[in-house]
A and B are shown apart, each in its own frame.
Chain A
Amino acid sequence: MPESPPSATTTLCPSCAEPLDPGDRFCEHCGADVQAPPPAAAPPSGGGSPSGAGDAGPAAATGPAGAGATGPAAAPPSGADGDGARPRTDAAGADAGAAAGGYPAGGEAAAGDGPATDSFLLAPPQGQGQGQAQPQGDGDTLALGVPLPATKLSDPREEEPETAPEAETVCVACGLGGVDADGYCEHCGHAQPRQRDHQEQELEGVAAVSDRGLRHHRNEDAFALSTASLPDGSPAVAAVVCDGVSTAYRPDDASAAASAAGGESLLAALERGAPADEAMRGALLAAFEAVSALAEEEPAPDGAAHHNAPACTCVSAVVTGPVFTVGWIGDSRAYWIPDDRTQPSARLTEDDSWAARMVAAGLMTEAEAYADERAHAITGWLGADAVEVDPHVAAFQPESPGVIVVCTDGLWNYAESAAEMAAAVPRDARTRPLHSARTLVGVALDGGGHDNVTVAVLPFPAAVSRAGFPPDQATDGPGGAVNGL
């Protein structure tokens, strides 16, 4: 991941590492353009707090002011800050990102008084690909960032890089060393950004963003998006989001395998004409099998015998015609956020977690349970040593348009209740799902980014038939679902 230059108070030229004066546009030593992005991608900045969050946004409110100073923040070398391409010499950025390393938390946002911006941008804006990030290899060093459709770069202040980056040759942390075959800098030893550190994808009717967060060294979340045609010709849109269990072995492989297998199974079943709930149940079991297979593939290395078998959570949502179906195992969640915010939003899933069990059993209040350190211990997961696999499936038939937010706890830790989540979701989420997913990841990063964050946003109804909803009716959550199963 990127790291600020070694000095905490002086910014250094990304090319020759000579100190720069604040306000310098070019290095006095080597003449390099210090405002141009360095030749490798950095993960995204946290950006500002989303405008849609307004006063309720947990980002600015809970983002510790100290996060910028003590956390792994760094001045974004990529010019991808929410405030546009900020040069490295920007004093505020340098101060906020004083500590070495880490994702930029958005200098001003971390200080708590940053201007709210409405964009959360990747850097550098390289992509010519249309709409989706294609994985370029497992765990490979990613030097070019995630390809983005140029049209998504809505911030006019964003500067295009003036020079073509020298792909995969220079360390993003020190700017001096080359990158070795193992993905480490040959000079300072820092690990380079990997493919999975930040991923985005957008399909017709669904978008998702996954980010490593600020405190974890790799992204153990994964997602899969897919669309298909039902036998009657209507579209089906699905998102699968998985969160690898860190205390298990190879959690990143587990989530990747589960999301891929789940997404594939789900769409295949729907294309065959299976009912959505059945397809969903089958998809969760397919994901389970894929994760279990990992355990047989390769035993944990010697000395790691105490490690658990690969495991992950899984949550999936699929929109089929007037209905959408949610399935999950573990503590990743789905929320319903109606367009009309006067109507209630709802959490659609019940965690398989210690806290949820305590609350369900009436032993603790929700507040008490979630304050407990065991709160996040999950009681259901996908993996070879899962005690029992009990896929939960529920179907919903909202009567007004909105979006389904499917996410890992890396997001909902910062917007736990349905109301909080609704406050964080931009009002134009249904028409700009990718933007919304980015904004929500930004909320999590501004809140501290303590875990990997993955968010998928599915507009409902699916793209084709967006009209015809009576404005005064809405679902009121799982209990009131028209078709809750």
Chain B
Amino acid sequence: MARISKSNVPQFSVDIYQNEFLPEGGREVNAIVTVTSTGGGTSGGQPLPGPAFAAEGAPPSAGVVIMVDCSGSMEYPPTKMRNARDATAVAIDTIRDGVAFAVVAGTHQAREVYPANGGLAVADPTTRAQAKQALRKLTAGGGTAIGTWLRLADRLLASADVAIRHGILLTDGRNEHEKPEDLKATLDACTGRFTCDARGVGTDWEVKELTAIASAMLGSVDIVADPAGLAADFQAMMENAMGKEVADVSLRLWTPQGSEIAFVKQVAPTVEDLSGRRVEAGPRAGDYPTGSWGDESRDYHVSVRVPSAGVGQEMLAARLSLVLPQPDGTVEVLSQGLVRAVWTDDMAASTRINPQVAHYTGQAELAQVIQQGLEARKSGDMDGATAKLGRAVQLASASGNEDTAKLLAKVVDVVDAASGTVRLKARVADADEMTLETRSTKTVRVKK
């Protein structure tokens, strides 16, 4: 049978964008690293019999747990619970045959809804129908303790021998029935064991809380202000999860003696500081977890401080590789790239800023000033908020980040985008403010 298909094994490529030239005495080397994986299953939504989704009869190699908030607040308005049920049903329909899955109802405690046997079910038409049947029994009542949901999901996913473990978490309220320390302990315990996307429904949840959860679990976070939009969002999230082909990929950075990593940030598709997640991996090397990969491309900003050297010197500032742990404890190097430093007395060369580095430095600042601006606004510092959000408008406009510019325009009246002159709007809908805050870290790529 003739068929056009990409390889089932994702291919990783690494591209480095940097200005390697430093002036005499220069010590800071910045590089944007674009990591692209191709060959995963998200290409056109066509199921590929890849390693994660084995052929019929073979044991599943991916598992998904859907966690649905069933706290009492989900009943107000009653459509919220109904929409959550419908969205979960759509998500279940999207689960591919052969993938292990489970549904968990979350309140102040976590309860298995399906298959409710302490493990995961393998998706096929029968189990999907049974799961949707089980959703009908979901009712709202009780509190919210998200940590318990994550722990149950972790247990369920651990019960199956799957390579890719993913969770989808839906909540509408604050984590009120659990101490923040307990949630943090849970996140510390679960990080790296599975990935998890989080969605907030309505406007009564806490952006920082949910962002922290998704960030720790290497997943995405978003707001679904109108519960009616849940089904489409769940479907997209599940499709994205189904596209993952490789789990537990890490960015490994080796730096020579005397050099140190100033920071490592993911800068596309969203800004995420990874610096604190370093896990030592041998002499002068550290791993930064990146989670699961499908067909996708992500950018990282790596900043290295190197020892100063004389003009004419050249050194390797960092060697960067994508590594995949193997069962025998070794790692497979998927791809690698070099970050170099060359000292020159050519001012034209050393003062040039790489366009990619400049762009993502701006995008990171954009995310930061939005968060600071909204914080200032909440605390009543209107001048501070105006200044920060004005700068945000300017950055979003200059970099072509139109989505963020639109969200900003719902919070401020833009007088002149180029100069960042804005006025705060007197009345701002909660949903608009929360959407801006949640999506502040979304970045765009360099304009070609």
Give residues in A with beta carbon < 8 Å to B: 1, 3, 6, 71-73, 99-103, 174, 176-177, 180, 182, 184-185, 187-191, 212-218, 246-247, 302-303, 450
State the CA gap A185–B255 with chains docked (Å): 11
Which A-chain residue is minimally distant from B21 (CB atoms)? A217
Contact between A188 and B312 (Cβ–Cβ < 8 Å)? no
For this complex, 7 residue pairs linking A to B, each with C-beta atoms less than 8 Å apart, are A71-B311, A100-B307, A102-B311, A102-B312, A189-B257, A190-B313, A303-B17
Is B338 interfacial (CB-CB < 8 Å)? yes
Contact between B311 and A215 (Cβ–Cβ < 8 Å)? yes
User: Interface stretch among B63-71, B85-93, B187-195, B339-347?
Assistant: B339-347
Contact between B312 and A1 (Cβ–Cβ < 8 Å)? yes
Is B417 interfacial (CB-CB < 8 Å)? no
Contact between A184 and B316 (Cβ–Cβ < 8 Å)? yes
Contact between A100 and B315 (Cβ–Cβ < 8 Å)? no
Contact between B258 and A6 (Cβ–Cβ < 8 Å)? yes
Within 8 Å CB of A3, what residues of B? 309, 313
Contact between A188 and B345 (Cβ–Cβ < 8 Å)? no
Within 8 Å CB of B255, what residues of A? 189
Task: List 14 additional A-B contacts (Cβ < 8 Å) besides A100-B313, A190-B316, A215-B312.
Answer: A1-B314, A72-B310, A72-B312, A100-B310, A102-B310, A180-B319, A184-B316, A187-B257, A189-B257, A190-B309, A190-B313, A190-B314, A216-B312, A218-B314
State the CA gap A180–B355 with chains docked (Å): 30
Within 8 Å CB of B354, what residues of A? 303
Closest Cβ of chain B: how far from A171's Cβ, in Å?
Answer: 10
Contact between B257 and A102 (Cβ–Cβ < 8 Å)? no
Number of interface residues of B (CB under 8 A): 30
Contact between A1 and B316 (Cβ–Cβ < 8 Å)? no
Contact between B355 and A303 (Cβ–Cβ < 8 Å)? yes
Within 8 Å CB of B257, what residues of A? 174, 176-177, 187-189
Which B-chain residue is minimally distant from A71 (CB atoms)? B310
Closest Cβ of chain B: how far from A246's Cβ, in Å?
Answer: 7
State the CA gap A302–B13 with chains docked (Å): 15
Contact between A213 and B346 (Cβ–Cβ < 8 Å)? no
State the CA gap A214–B254 with chains docked (Å): 28
Contact between B338 and A101 (Cβ–Cβ < 8 Å)? no
Contact between B256 and A189 (Cβ–Cβ < 8 Å)? yes
Q: Binding site of A, secondary structure by majority: helix, strand, loop or mixed?
A: loop
Within 8 Å CB of B372, what residues of A? none
Q: How would residues 309 to 339 of chain B score, 1 for a CB under 8 Å from any chain A CB and 0 otherwise?
A: 1111111110100000000000000000010
Query: 9 nearest interchain CB pairs?
Result: A189-B256, A72-B310, A191-B314, A184-B316, A189-B316, A101-B310, A217-B314, A189-B315, A101-B313
State the CA gap A102–B255 with chains docked (Å): 21
Is B127 interfacial (CB-CB < 8 Å)? no
Within 8 Å CB of B314, what residues of A? 1, 190-191, 217-218
Within 8 Å CB of B258, what residues of A? 6, 188
Per the 8 Å Cβ criterion, residues 173-195 of B in contact with A are none
Contact between B310 and A187 (Cβ–Cβ < 8 Å)? no
Per the 8 Å Cβ criterion, residues 287-310 of B in contact with A are 306-310
Is B356 interfacial (CB-CB < 8 Å)? yes
Closest Cβ of chain A: how far from B427's Cβ, in Å?
Answer: 44
Give residues in B with beta carbon < 8 Å to A: 15, 17, 255-259, 306-317, 319, 338, 342-346, 348, 354-356
Closest Cβ of chain B: how far from A110's Cβ, in Å?
Answer: 13
Given A188-B257, A217-B344, A303-B356, check contact A182 B316 (CB 8 Å).
yes
Within 8 Å CB of B356, what residues of A? 303
Given A99-B310, A246-B346, check contact A191 B315 (CB 8 Å).
yes
Closest Cβ of chain B: how far from A301's Cβ, in Å?
Answer: 8
Q: Which of B256, B338, B344, B355 has the most CB of A within 10 A?
A: B256
| Contacts between chains A and B (CB distance < 8 A), count | 95
Within 8 Å CB of B355, what residues of A? 303
Within 8 Å CB of A174, what residues of B? 257
State the CA gap A168–B308 with chains docked (Å): 25
Q: Which of A100, A214, A215, A246 has the most CB of B within 10 A?
A: A215
Contact between A184 and B312 (Cβ–Cβ < 8 Å)? no
Q: Which of B315, B338, B344, B356 has the most CB of A within 10 A?
A: B315
Contact between A182 and B338 (Cβ–Cβ < 8 Å)? yes
Within 8 Å CB of B310, what residues of A? 71-73, 99-102
Within 8 Å CB of A187, what residues of B? 256-257
State the CA gap A247–B15 with chains docked (Å): 23
Within 8 Å CB of A102, what residues of B? 310-313
State the CA gap A246–B342 with chains docked (Å): 14
Closest Cβ of chain A: how far from B355's Cβ, in Å?
Answer: 6
State the CA gap A247–B259 with chains docked (Å): 29
Which B-chain residue is minimally distant from A73 (CB atoms)? B310
Within 8 Å CB of A6, what residues of B? 258, 307
State the CA gap A73–B310 with chains docked (Å): 8
A100: contacting residue among B259, B309, B344, CB under 8 A: B309
State the CA gap A253–B105 with chains docked (Å): 65
State the CA gap A6–B344 with chains docked (Å): 20
Closest Cβ of chain B: how far from A161's Cβ, in Å?
Answer: 25
Given A217-B344, A303-B355, check contact A188 B313 (CB 8 Å).
no
Within 8 Å CB of A216, what residues of B? 312, 344
State the CA gap A246–B308 with chains docked (Å): 23
Given A182-B338, A189-B259, check contact A217 B312 (CB 8 Å).
yes
Within 8 Å CB of B319, what residues of A? 180, 184
Which A-chain residue is minimally distant from B18 (CB atoms)? A303
Which A-chain residue is minimally distant from B354 (CB atoms)? A303
State the CA gap A131–B257 with chains docked (Å): 40
Within 8 Å CB of B312, what residues of A? 1, 72, 101-103, 212-217
Within 8 Å CB of B259, what residues of A? 189
Contact between B316 and A72 (Cβ–Cβ < 8 Å)? no
State the CA gap A161–B427 with chains docked (Å): 82
Within 8 Å CB of A191, what residues of B? 313-316
Which A-chain residue is minimally distant from B311 (CB atoms)? A215
State the CA gap A101–B301 with chains docked (Å): 29
State the CA gap A103–B319 with chains docked (Å): 26
State the CA gap A450–B310 with chains docked (Å): 13
Within 8 Å CB of A1, what residues of B? 312-314
Closest Cβ of chain B: how far from A197's Cβ, in Å?
Answer: 10
Within 8 Å CB of A72, what residues of B? 309-313
Contact between A217 and B343 (Cβ–Cβ < 8 Å)? yes
Contact between A190 and B346 (Cβ–Cβ < 8 Å)? no
State the CA gap A217–B340 with chains docked (Å): 12
Within 8 Å CB of A213, what residues of B? 312
Within 8 Å CB of A185, what residues of B? 256, 315-316
Within 8 Å CB of A212, what residues of B? 312
Within 8 Å CB of A190, what residues of B? 256, 309, 313-316
Contact between A217 and B313 (Cβ–Cβ < 8 Å)? yes
Contact between A184 and B311 (Cβ–Cβ < 8 Å)? no
Within 8 Å CB of B344, what residues of A? 215-217
State the CA gap A215–B314 with chains docked (Å): 11
Within 8 Å CB of B309, what residues of A? 3, 72, 100-101, 190
State the CA gap A3–B314 with chains docked (Å): 10
Closest Cβ of chain B: how far from A250's Cβ, in Å?
Answer: 15
Q: Which of B256, B259, B310, B348 has the most CB of A within 10 A?
A: B310
Which B-chain residue is minimally distant from A216 (CB atoms)? B312
State the CA gap A73–B313 with chains docked (Å): 11
Which B-chain residue is minimally distant from A176 (CB atoms)? B257
Contact between B342 and A188 (Cβ–Cβ < 8 Å)? no
Q: Which of A180, A191, A303 has the most CB of B within 10 A?
A: A303
Contact between A188 and B315 (Cβ–Cβ < 8 Å)? yes
Which A-chain residue is minimally distant from B34 (CB atoms)? A302
State the CA gap A30–B307 with chains docked (Å): 27
Closest Cβ of chain B: how far from A239's Cβ, in Å?
Answer: 26
Which B-chain residue is minimally distant from A246 (CB atoms)? B346
Within 8 Å CB of B317, what residues of A? 189
State the CA gap A189–B260 with chains docked (Å): 12
Which A-chain residue is minimally distant from B352 (CB atoms)? A306
Within 8 Å CB of B343, what residues of A? 217
Closest Cβ of chain A: how far from B33's Cβ, in Å?
Answer: 13
State the CA gap A246–B307 with chains docked (Å): 25
Within 8 Å CB of B348, what residues of A? 247
